[in-house]
């Protein structure tokens, strides 16, 4: 992805992928828990919703999973050879927040099918990033940025 941003606004690509693996595990657990306790799944999804919100608000480095990567994982790795801009990642976290919020409200309101679908969309995006390094929100971000710049 080619964005012109300062090095301070770049992040090690391994951090968001690490976060995506954790997110994938949480969302899989939500779907499993939904099969026998939808309300409990809604609570677990609510926690992930907060993580998404923080990731969108403070960026990938200061998000809960980003901090965990920085403290527990990054010191054991070689220096990063590839970085990516933080803003598309923040946007992606915002998209994850929307799907997780819809899923949380749905599961807590006993609209289980809607909750499963919303969590499933978030899971698909997280797994795609974790396993293949494809960030869907990051792919959409430049398109939206281009449209916004043309309308202003």
* CA distance readout (Å), 17 to 25, 59, 143, 146, 150: 12, 14, 22, 26, 32
Q: What pLDDT is attached to residue 55?
A: 98
Q: What pLDDT is attached to residue 1?
A: 39
In this structure, is residue 109 part of a structural domain? yes
Instruction: Check if the beta carbon of residue 125 is closer than 8 Å to that of residue 43.
Output: no
In this structure, is residue 76 part of a structural domain? yes
Instruction: Provide the 10 A C-beta neighbour count for residue 3.
Output: 15
In this structure, is residue 1 part of a structural domain? no
In this structure, is residue 6 part of a structural domain? no
In this structure, is residue 5 part of a structural domain? no
Stretches where the chain sits below pLDDT 50 are 1-5
List pLDDT tens digits, range 16-45: 999 999 999 999 999 999 999 999 999 999
- Give CA angle at 58 (56, 63), nearest 5°: 85
User: Domain residues for 64?
Assistant: 11-151
Q: What pLDDT is attached to residue 125?
A: 98
Instruction: Round the average pLDDT of the chain to a whole number and report it.
Output: 94
Q: What pLDDT is attached to residue 151?
A: 82
Q: How many domains does the chain have?
A: 1
């Amino acid at each position: 992805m080619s964005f012109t941003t300062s090095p301070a606004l770049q992040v090690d690509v391994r951090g968001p992928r690490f976060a995506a693996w954790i997110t994938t595990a949480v969302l899989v657990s939500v779907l499993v828990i939904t099969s026998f306790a939808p309300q409990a799944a809604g609570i677990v999804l609510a926690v992930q919703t907060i993580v998404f919100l923080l990731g969108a608000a403070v960026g990938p480095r200061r998000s809960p999973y980003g901090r965990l990567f920085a403290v527990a994982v990054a010191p054991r790795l070689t220096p990063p050879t590839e970085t990516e801009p933080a803003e598309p990642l923040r946007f992606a976290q915002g998209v994850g927040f929307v799907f997780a919020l819809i899923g949380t409200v749905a599961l807590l309101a006993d609209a289980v099918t809607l909750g499963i679908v919303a969590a499933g969309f978030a899971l698909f995006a997280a797994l795609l990033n974790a396993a293949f390094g494809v960030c869907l929100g990051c792919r959409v971000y430049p398109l939206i940025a281009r449209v916004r710049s043309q309308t202003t």
